[in-house]
Amino acid sequence: MSRVILKGLNGANPLGFLAAIGLLRLLRQDSDLARIGFLPDGSFHPFVEGFDGDLAALVCRDAALAEGKQSWFLEYEKQEKKGVKVVADLKAPPEAFATYLSNCVDRWLKGEREAVAYAAAFGTSVAVDTTKMRNTKPTALHFTAANQQFLRTVEVIRSSITSEWVACSLFEGHADRPGLNLRWDPAAERNWALRLNDPQKEDTRVDAPLEWLAFRGLPLFPSFPCGTRIITTAVSGRGDDMEMAWPLWSVPVSLQTARSALQMTWTGASRDRAIRGVFAVCTSTIRRTSQGFGNFGPATVTT
């Protein structure tokens, strides 16, 4: 089978890597032979082997089929000054999150795996934040805050996807357009201290197909309780000192192998990783604003 290079993605960019992993999840649903690797030539473009279909059509079809409230959708009521508000985010009251987890397990017992896969990535019923509300503390990859709801934003992104946009995102790049994003691209950071002009006066931009694929890859980054804390796969540190580290491999691997690789510790990884097909390790700091928003910093690549 032929190799398809995804020139629109950069595996050294957190969003690009998450999108590549999400694409691998979708490919696995269609073919056991699907594999993904990354070019070691400095471009870090992902490439696909073992799939001869239309990749853009695959992604577009997946987004279309996800219309409506999916099994992994988390929605709950939140009391605000103006009354009760229905929220689709991950920072749910502990009792609401526990009910959500129970429903996901019920679906799993009936043979539906997707809800549990996302629930494991979203958070745990143990860890809570330090606010007065004591809400569930979500995955370290939850970067939205204030009035921006994570799952509501995901739906806005999903509904905007078109086949033309997917093709541009995968094979050309520079496909961002005005719209909401999940803040997984370092270029999305809107910290005034890092910008010439006030970023709040600028429209946000989104590469919707890549953001959707990144969300589809989230189940490969499950979260785990550690005492009263939460630990997210591939993320180390705590508080304002956190970073995500991930490998880039030149040998095309299956979804199962990629899952195993992500569960290894790559922070400070030594050069002997190269004998296992890994040619680079990327590390990106996670920055938090005073409002609670998160952002990835540009990745450091160690070869």
169/128: higher pLDDT:
169
Q: Is residue 262 pLDDT above 50, yes or no?
A: yes
Rounded Cα distance, 119 and 73, in Å: 9
Question: Binning pLDDT at 50, 70 and 90, where does residue 192 land?
Answer: very low
First vs last C-alpha separation in the chain: 29
- Please say whether the beta carbons of 297 and 289 come within 8 A: no
Answer whether residue 221 is part of any domain. yes
Domain boundaries, position 23: 4-69+148-302
pLDDT digits (tens, 9 = 90+) for 211-257: 999 999 999 999 999 888 899 999 999 888 899 999 999 999 999 99
* Long-range pairs for 242-245: beta carbons < 8 A, 24 or more residues apart: 242/140, 242/285, 242/286, 243/267, 243/283, 243/284, 243/285, 243/286, 244/14, 244/140, 244/141, 244/283, 244/284, 244/286, 244/296, 245/269, 245/281, 245/282, 245/283, 245/284
User: What percentage of residues in the chain have a pLDDT greater than 90?
Assistant: 74
Question: Binning pLDDT at 50, 70 and 90, where does residue 63 land?
Answer: very high
Query: What total of structural domains would you count in the chain?
Result: 1
Q: Which residues on neighbouring strands pair with residue 283, listed in sequence order?
A: 245, 300
Q: Is residue 138 pLDDT above 90, yes or no?
A: yes
**Number of other residues whose CB lies within 10 A of the CB of residue 116:** 20
Q: Is residue 202 pLDDT above 60, yes or no?
A: no
Answer whether residue 139 is part of any domain. no
Backbone angles phi, psi at 121, to 5 degrees: -85, -30
**Among 78, 179, 83, 54, which Cα is nearest to 136's?**
78
Q: Is residue 201 pLDDT above 90, yes or no?
A: no
Q: What are the start-end ranges of the H helices in the chain?
A: 14-30, 55-65, 94-109, 114-122, 150-159, 163-171, 208-216, 255-262
Torsional sign, CA 241, 200, 87, 89: negative
CA Rg value for the chain: 19
User: What's the mean per-residue pLDDT of the chain?
Assistant: 90
Rounded Cα distance, 213 and 209, in Å: 6
Answer whether residue 216 is part of any domain. yes
**Which CA distances in Å does 263 have to 235, 256, 259?**
10, 11, 7
Tokens 């920055």, residue located: 287
Answer whether residue 10 is part of any domain. yes
Answer whether residue 168 is part of any domain. yes
